[in-house]
Chains A and B, each alone.
Chain A
Amino acid sequence: MQYMVVCFLIHTLCPVSALSAGETRILYARVFGPETGDGCDFTPEQRRLMQKEKLHVVARQVRSAVALSREASGGLCVEAVLGEEAAALGEADSGVFSLGNAELFPDRSVVLWLGVQSLAFTLVCRPHENLLLAEGTLRNIARHCLEELRLLGPGAEVLLKSDRVDALLHRLLPHGQLLFLNHRFVLTLDKEIANYVSK
């Protein structure tokens, strides 16, 4: 059993014109290696391709899960704009499911998702991870992403300023390690992140 976060994704929930229905565009992906030796006879390129495919499968499953959840709850989506990040986060829906397939990530990894309007923030964790902590971490990361990448606006910072996500993950989820942060630790890290972004 391993206690680690496997990866973090930001991907679309809305229809994307270039893709077929139900498909999702991954805007940011960070996998926390190393991966355990599965099939050592693959070349590095093959492994990279396999990894990308796996991430897409996860993202698609999240998209379906979000659609089903939103349908069931029947809530109306109020579109928030720049400056209303806290409201958008407050309205976000969240959920969890397990990846049954051993082919994807071994040991029935757990997928935690947060749907903010037309984007999803997804964490894939190993089983038996502290889900309460993972949830709080995911929310915190999402909050920073919404703010630092101006995701409620029409810009493309999520693509061009993705180093900001790397930097904030480096602090909030170093190498996939979930951290027990009280609000003062959080404030200090917030300042560090703000410093990074302002440069």
Chain B
Amino acid sequence: MYAAATESLIKQAREIKEEELQRFCGRIFKLLHTKDVSGDTVDSLQRLNLIVSATKYARELPSDLVMKLQTLLRSSSCPEQLQVLTSSIIRESFPSSVHSLCSDLSHDSRTFSHVASVVLAQVSHILESRLSDGQISRHALPILSKMSTVYPEILTDDQVNLVSRKLVDWLRYASMQQGASMSSGGFFSGPRTRQPAPLTEVDGVVTGDFFTVLCLGQSYTEDQWMNMYTFSMIKSWLLHVPSYAQPCNDDRSEVDSSVMSMVSATSSSSRLLPPKERLREKAFEYCQRLIEQSDRKALKKTDTELQKACIVESVSIMDIICGEDPSYVYRAFPCIKALYGRLNGDLAYARALLPIAQFYLNHSEIAAVDSEAVFCQLFSHCPAEQFNEPMLAFEFVQFCLLNASVLQDRVANYRQSFPNILKFLAGNSSGLIAEFVELLPSLIASDTAIELLHTILDLPCLAAALDLQQRSACYQASDRSAWDQQGAKVAACLDAFRQPSYRGLFLYILRPEAGTGDTIDRLKMLHEILADMAESPRVVQCAQVVPVLLHVYFNTVTQKADEKMMNQLLLVLLERSSLVFSTHLQALCKLHPPLIVDQSREILEFASSPANIYSKEDFYTHVVWVIGEYLSVSYDPRCTVELITSFFESLEAVLFEITQVRQSASPPSFSPRLITVLMTTLAKLATRSQDLIPRVSLCLSKMRTFARSAPVMTCYSEEDTEEIITRAHELINLLKLPNVAQFVLAPSAGGDGPRWHRDTNASLPQGMRAVSGLLHRHSSSLPT
């Protein structure tokens, strides 16, 4: 598709020299002055277009050429291709060209607004007159729409009324017959128009009601085109153009066509409404008709897709209208309810449920309509069935984001449905993570917060399970060839998925609602079953977003959590520590230091086991650090000497075990930082129960031997071994002055993490070095 030839063309366009460009422009200038437009002219203009678009900085074109191009653009006899090319060239080239086109536009917004209003006046004039050349009025409408959304204050009352009247005409009173197609009647007669045929609905049935975008004809009349353009911009117009409430007495009476229509009681008196209100009425009728027309079975796929888009648009417009004028709510609800009844359960129309749900959310209270069923369907069924539809997933999540606070307060099963909602993320992690970062806080409820944490941690499992569920649905067990084609690993997992004994596990992971339990006992087994899927791209992408979600979770939860929840959270962290970031542990303990004493048994158990070092070193290091920081009577009066001693003894045993120097010992598999953190923590604990000081000093004195042993020397760098030795030495010296040590090793006010031991900016090493220095200078006068 994209070839080297294309690339080299871009290169040429970018690198063309200034003088060559000027010569080229000169040639074009001459060509443009000849009478006929030759292929050569077009070709040259196309090349010039490429040249000015190819660079990031704007190219300056000679002013005479620019003037010529502008003249061409403004001339009515210019062929379309030249207009397109000149317009593009002017846009892309040195910006002053654009300015001179708009008669020297300055940064002055007032000037711009004048110019804009001139343009707008011309547009209104065009709309007002009955031009036969429909091409002009066709484009006036999108321009008008754009200007009114960007600068709504530019429009005067009169202009708004004028336009609103025109829009009503096009929307509601367009021709009811097909456009005339010019065709010759035969060889002997001149061209004459055929009898216009009737319009049809999308299923072929002849139309009996007013024209809409869902009416088909061989060719369309001008006002039918305008009908389509009008509907395309009506939502924007209704939203942005302020309503001018003065009634218009000089409203020209519209000739209602004698067509039967789904009019409500007010429409006969609607002529007396101000233009904006009348437009609202007609737009409402149009939407009702579209919703009706969408029930027909279209013959062409394009039309089926259009019907869906029309449903979405119509419901949104009705939603807006009801928001502006609540009296419409009672007329709208029967229609919307019937629509919901029709679409409910039809997977092909799932996306159309979202604007319906939005409508219920906005207006069901006023109308005292029960909306529970709608939200039940939305949260309990939709995600489970369609998690892997990227567009639906996106729109669903956007809906939740937009309405998060209302959903939290008013829709009971919103927060309960987080297992379902998270399926969208599992199915499309990279695309939706940004949205979920914002959405997650709204899903956290105190009674299900722990379950949510487990669910987040199990997200990759969920992704794998969903994948298997999908494949399982596609392939029959008997069709082994299709089964095996997916690779041995996946096939093995699929077999497991189908096993009755594992049914419960999968049912839990794929559950739609929270509340059946925080997690399952046999989670480990599930992990083992799904291990073969761990490398599948979807699962990997999912695993990558988990840490981000955890950050958001902890940031939110720590703000709101009570003591009980903090305890529960700590337990989860310890239980599933291999997946969790250590920073969360720190944050939790810093927020609520008594946790250490509360959960001392679990923490002690964790810290006592060297196996945890090898599998989760970073987390283990943080646990040790946290013990050193917060296990103190200054944080928790329940911190007894016995407690400190038991922690000390466990950590001492661990340090001893991992630093044993044996001939046959293999090099350490843990980082030097673990050693320094262990040493420092032991020293800290010793200052709080000073009987332990001789023991820790003994322990520390062995560190030199450890650091200088052969296996360690090969493994750690020179600096690292030096640091271990120095730190041990400094700690020993410090502990000779227990009161000073207590001060230096006291919990730091900043509560920073276990810094890298060579971090010279950290106060602890600095403090210690200062004291050490002091001690060396005065060593002779101190008791040993």
Interface residues of B in 43-100 (CB under 8 A from A): 46-47, 49-50, 53, 56-58, 79-81, 84-85, 87-88, 94-96, 98-99
Interface residues of A in 78-120 (CB under 8 A from B): 94-98, 100, 110, 116-119
| Contact indicator per residue, chain B 295-333, by CB within 8 Å of chain A (1) or not (0) | 000001011011011101100100000000000000000
Minimum distance in angstroms from A41 CB to a CB of chain B:
8
Instruction: Give 11 new A-B contacts, CB below 8 A, not counting A98-B394, A158-B6, A185-B228.
Output: A2-B236, A68-B431, A69-B430, A95-B431, A117-B1, A119-B2, A132-B308, A156-B9, A175-B145, A180-B213, A180-B309
Residue of B2, B87, B138 contacting most chain A CB atoms (<10 Å): B2
A34-B150, A183-B300 are contacts. A40–B9 as well, Cβ < 8 Å?
no
Check B107 for interface membership: any CB of A closer than 8 A. Answer: yes
A181-B228, A182-B202 are contacts. A118–B2 as well, Cβ < 8 Å?
yes
* CB nearest neighbor in A for B97: A44
Which of B7, B80, B143 makes the CB contact (< 8 A) with A175? B143
In contact, A163 and B431 (Cβ under 8 angstroms): no
Interface residues of A in 154-199 (CB under 8 A from B): 154-156, 158-163, 166-167, 170, 174-186, 188, 196, 199
In contact, A25 and B10 (Cβ under 8 angstroms): yes
In contact, A130 and B213 (Cβ under 8 angstroms): no
In contact, A196 and B80 (Cβ under 8 angstroms): yes
**Which residues of the partner chain B approach A98 to less than 8 Å between Cβ atoms?**
394, 398, 434-435
**Which residues of the partner chain B approach A158 to less than 8 Å between Cβ atoms?**
6
Q: Which residues of A contact B (CB under 8 A)?
A: 1-4, 12, 14, 16-18, 25, 27, 29, 32, 34, 36-37, 40-41, 44-45, 47-49, 52-53, 64-65, 68-69, 71-72, 74, 94-98, 100, 110, 116-119, 127, 130-133, 135-136, 151-156, 158-163, 166-167, 170, 174-186, 188, 196, 199
**Which residues of the partner chain A approach B142 to less than 8 Å between Cβ atoms?**
174-177
In contact, A182 and B306 (Cβ under 8 angstroms): yes
Interface residues of B in 1-27 (CB under 8 A from A): 1-7, 9-11, 13
* CB nearest neighbor in A for B433: A97
In contact, A132 and B351 (Cβ under 8 angstroms): yes
23 contacts between A and B (CB under 8 A): A4-B146, A18-B7, A37-B109, A44-B98, A45-B95, A48-B57, A95-B390, A95-B431, A96-B391, A119-B1, A131-B351, A132-B308, A151-B1, A155-B6, A156-B9, A159-B13, A163-B88, A175-B142, A176-B146, A179-B228, A184-B219, A196-B80, A196-B81
* CB nearest neighbor in B for A112: B391
Check B472 for interface membership: any CB of A closer than 8 A. Answer: no
In contact, B220 and A188 (Cβ under 8 angstroms): yes
In contact, A68 and B58 (Cβ under 8 angstroms): no
Minimum distance in angstroms from A20 CB to a CB of chain B:
14
A180-B228, A184-B220 are contacts. A118–B309 as well, Cβ < 8 Å?
no
Minimum distance in angstroms from B425 CB to a CB of chain A:
13
Interface residues of B in 397-434 (CB under 8 A from A): 398, 428, 430-432, 434
In contact, B232 and A166 (Cβ under 8 angstroms): no
**Which residues of the partner chain A approach B149 to less than 8 Å between Cβ atoms?**
2-4
Check B231 for interface membership: any CB of A closer than 8 A. Answer: yes
Minimum distance in angstroms from B557 CB to a CB of chain A:
23
Which of A18, A174, A180, A184 makes the CB contact (< 8 A) with B231? A180
Chain B, interface residues (CB within 8 Å), range: 35 or more
Minimum distance in angstroms from A15 CB to a CB of chain B:
10
**Which residues of the partner chain A approach B313 to less than 8 Å between Cβ atoms?**
130, 133, 180
Which of A155, A163, A185, A186 makes the CB contact (< 8 A) with B49? A163
**Which residues of the partner chain A approach B4 to less than 8 Å between Cβ atoms?**
17
**Which residues of the partner chain B approach A160 to less than 8 Å between Cβ atoms?**
9, 46-47, 50
* CB nearest neighbor in A for B395: A131
Check B342 for interface membership: any CB of A closer than 8 A. Answer: no
* CB nearest neighbor in B for A17: B7
In contact, B10 and A136 (Cβ under 8 angstroms): no
Minimum distance in angstroms from A108 CB to a CB of chain B:
9
Which of B56, B239, B430 makes the CB contact (< 8 A) with A52? B56
In contact, A136 and B2 (Cβ under 8 angstroms): no
In contact, B390 and A72 (Cβ under 8 angstroms): no
Interface residues of B in 173-217 (CB under 8 A from A): 202, 213-217
**Which residues of the partner chain A approach B228 to less than 8 Å between Cβ atoms?**
179-181, 185
Separation of A37 and B96 alpha carbons in the complex (Å): 18
In contact, A177 and B107 (Cβ under 8 angstroms): no
Minimum distance in angstroms from A94 CB to a CB of chain B:
7
In contact, A130 and B306 (Cβ under 8 angstroms): no
In contact, A40 and B107 (Cβ under 8 angstroms): yes
**Which residues of the partner chain B approach A69 to less than 8 Å between Cβ atoms?**
390, 430-431
Q: What total of A-B pairs shows CB separation below 8 Å?
A: 217
A97-B394, A186-B302 are contacts. A163–B310 as well, Cβ < 8 Å?
no
A156-B5, A178-B232 are contacts. A162–B50 as well, Cβ < 8 Å?
yes
**Which residues of the partner chain B approach A53 to less than 8 Å between Cβ atoms?**
56
Residue of A132, A176, A181 contacting most chain B CB atoms (<10 Å): A132
Check B503 for interface membership: any CB of A closer than 8 A. Answer: no
Check B245 for interface membership: any CB of A closer than 8 A. Answer: no
In contact, A65 and B57 (Cβ under 8 angstroms): no
Check B233 for interface membership: any CB of A closer than 8 A. Answer: yes
In contact, B1 and A152 (Cβ under 8 angstroms): yes
Check B538 for interface membership: any CB of A closer than 8 A. Answer: yes
**Which residues of the partner chain B approach A1 to less than 8 Å between Cβ atoms?**
239
Separation of A25 and B94 alpha carbons in the complex (Å): 22
Minimum distance in angstroms from A58 CB to a CB of chain B:
14
A16-B7, A118-B1 are contacts. A163–B81 as well, Cβ < 8 Å?
yes
Check B739 for interface membership: any CB of A closer than 8 A. Answer: no
Separation of A68 and B431 alpha carbons in the complex (Å): 9
In contact, B58 and A48 (Cβ under 8 angstroms): yes
**Which residues of the partner chain A approach B85 to less than 8 Å between Cβ atoms?**
163
| Contact indicator per residue, chain B 147-162, by CB within 8 Å of chain A (1) or not (0) | 0011000000000000
In contact, A132 and B305 (Cβ under 8 angstroms): yes
* CB nearest neighbor in A for B98: A44
Which of B95, B146, B306 makes the CB contact (< 8 A) with A44? B95
* CB nearest neighbor in B for A47: B95
A160-B46, A160-B47, A180-B309 are contacts. A49–B57 as well, Cβ < 8 Å?
yes
In contact, A183 and B57 (Cβ under 8 angstroms): no
Check B218 for interface membership: any CB of A closer than 8 A. Answer: yes
Minimum distance in angstroms from A65 CB to a CB of chain B:
6
Which of B3, B99, B233, B394 makes the CB contact (< 8 A) with A96? B394
Interface residues of B in 209-268 (CB under 8 A from A): 213-220, 228-229, 231-233, 235-236, 239
Check B519 for interface membership: any CB of A closer than 8 A. Answer: no
Residue of A29, A133, A161 contacting most chain B CB atoms (<10 Å): A133
In contact, A68 and B2 (Cβ under 8 angstroms): no
In contact, B95 and A71 (Cβ under 8 angstroms): no
* CB nearest neighbor in B for A28: B53
Check B537 for interface membership: any CB of A closer than 8 A. Answer: yes
Minimum distance in angstroms from B385 CB to a CB of chain A:
19
Separation of A196 and B83 alpha carbons in the complex (Å): 12
In contact, A27 and B6 (Cβ under 8 angstroms): yes
Separation of A110 and B432 alpha carbons in the complex (Å): 12
Separation of A105 and B784 alpha carbons in the complex (Å): 70
